[in-house]
């Protein structure tokens, strides 16, 4: 049986008092006799049920427990009441005999109080089961988000790897210095990506370091067609952010925004705090938002992962920028 022992006794005493008031109103005996008998019988049934519960190694009353506790407690309580009433009220034992209907009252009490304690424990069990179910669901969402992250990394890195290595190979003879610079940035990118995959978590500073190395590589490949800037206040660098939250938006801006424009354009990543939230904007000056297009796998994956981690507090929005371009905004709890 759950709950404080003293608290349970007070509940039983309150039930007993209610029964005493009922019987005092129905019978000719006074309230004092009804009160003594009700408390003696009720507390005896409660004590017997507690003994039975512990002897059986259970934690709440059931039918078998009360089948023994109610009659035994009733007999014990009635006997105690028979001796207490004369001692406490000055009534002789003949007048203080068994109150009419006290056994019926004992049965009513036994059933009512047993059902109360049984229901209380059962409700607590169901609430605990619901809480555990919610925790299990949250854990399943977290594991699914991790699996989706690894799948996204597996999707992004080979494509990026082969293209970058092809560029390095093409630059080795014609521009060795640029090839070396690209290879250095690419090595740092891969090392950071591997470290973050093993760690499982990440910060805004780590994520933007990966974005910076990615943009360095892409700037070498695209030349003057790509201009970029990252604005990260130092105090926000340590804020938590899942890996690969921003790179899909940067890739999308390059491939679908700046890529189709012969003149290229600019990508700007800006981090700010808005109340209790962290807000990150990825802004490009590309061809603009195609409202008929379906968001890519990477962006859909980011939405799903952030929702699994932060619930409704996380938000991902895409909006057009005038005169042309797209703003992708990621909002998460700070």
Q: How far is residue 48's CA from residue 53's CA, in Å, rounded to a whole number?
A: 9
Alpha-carbon gap, residue 184 to 191, rounded angstroms: 11
The yes-or-no verdict on residue 157 having pLDDT over 50 is: yes
| pLDDT one-digit tens code per residue, 247-268 | 889 988 998 899 889 999 999 9
Q: Say which DSSP state 334 is in.
A: -
Q: How confident is the model at residue 100 (pLDDT cuts 50, 70, 90)?
A: very low
Q: Is 255 helix (H, G, I), strand (E, B) or coil?
A: helix
As a whole number, mean pLDDT of residues 73-78 equals 80
CATH of domain 175-333: 3.30.565.10
Residues 6+ apart with CB under 8 A from 110: 45, 66, 69, 70, 73, 74
Q: What is the pLDDT of residue 2?
A: 45
Q: Summarize pLDDT for 51-73 with one digit per residue, the tens.
A: 877 777 666 666 677 777 777 87
- Give the model's pLDDT for residue 334: 83
For residue 133, CA distances in Å to 73, 127, 309 come to 40, 10, 17
User: What average pLDDT does the chain have?
Assistant: 78
Mean pLDDT of 148-162: 59
Lowest mean pLDDT segment, chosen from 14-28, 88-102, 127-141, 175-189: 88-102
Determine which of 242-256, 282-296, 317-331 has the lowest per-residue pLDDT on average.
Answer: 282-296
Q: Which of 115-124, 307-316, 317-326 has the lowest mean pLDDT?
A: 115-124
pLDDT higher than 70, residue 108: no
> Which residues are CB-contacts of 130 (< 8 A; sequence separation ≥ 6)?
none
Residues of the chain with CATH 3.30.565.10: 175-333
pLDDT confidence tier of residue 133, bands split at 50, 70 and 90: confident
The arithmetic mean of pLDDT across residues 316-331, rounded, is: 92
8 pLDDT above the threshold of 60: yes
Q: Tell me what the mean pLDDT of segment 80-105 comes to.
A: 64
Residue 1 has pLDDT above 50, yes or no: no
Distance CA 84, CA 68 (A): 24
* Per-residue b or e along 224-254, where b marks 16 or more CB atoms closer than 10 Å to that residue's CB: ebbebeeebeeebeebebbbbbbbbbbbbbb
**Average pLDDT rounded to a whole number, residues 210-229:** 91
Q: Specify the pLDDT at position 197.
A: 57
More confident residue, 164 or 142: 164
């Amino acid at each position: 049986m759950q709950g404080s022992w003293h608290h349970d006794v007070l509940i039983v005493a309150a039930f007993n008092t209610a029964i005493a008031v009922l019987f005092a109103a129905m019978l000719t005996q006074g309230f004092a006799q009804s009160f003594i008998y009700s408390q003696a019988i009720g507390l005896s049934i409660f004590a017997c049920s507690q003994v039975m519960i512990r002897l059986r190694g259970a934690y709440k009353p059931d039918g078998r427990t009360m089948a023994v506790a109610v009659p035994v407690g009733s007999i014990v309580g009635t006997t105690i009441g028979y001796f207490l009433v004369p001692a406490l009220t000055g009534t002789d034992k003949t007048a203080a005999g068994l109150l009419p209907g006290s056994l019926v009252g004992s049965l009513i009490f036994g059933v009512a109080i047993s059902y109360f304690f049984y229901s209380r424990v059962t409700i607590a069990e169901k609430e605990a089961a619901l809480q555990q179910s919610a925790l299990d669901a949250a854990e399943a969402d977290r594991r699914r988000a991790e699996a989706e992250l690894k799948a996204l990394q597996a999707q992004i890195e080979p494509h990026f790897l082969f293209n970058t290595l092809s560029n390095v190979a093409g630059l080795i003879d014609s521009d060795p210095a640029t090839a070396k610079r690209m290879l250095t940035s690419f090595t740092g990118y891969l090392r950071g990506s591997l470290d973050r995959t093993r760690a499982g978590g990440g910060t805004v500073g780590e994520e933007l370091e990966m974005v910076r190395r990615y943009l360095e590589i892409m700037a070498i490949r695209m030349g003057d067609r790509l201009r970029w800037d990252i604005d990260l206040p130092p105090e926000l660098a340590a804020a938590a952010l899942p890996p690969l939250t921003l790179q899909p938006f940067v890739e999308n801006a390059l491939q679908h925004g700046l890529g189709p424009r012969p003149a290229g354009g600019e990508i700007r990543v800006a981090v700010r705090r808005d109340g209790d939230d962290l807000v990150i904007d990825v802004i490009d000056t590309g061809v603009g938002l195609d409202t008929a297009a379906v968001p890519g796998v990477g962006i859909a994956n980011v939405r799903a992962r952030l929702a699994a981690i932060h619930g409704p507090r996380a938000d991902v929005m895409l909006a057009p920028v005038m005169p042309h371009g797209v703003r992708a905004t990621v909002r998460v709890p700070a």
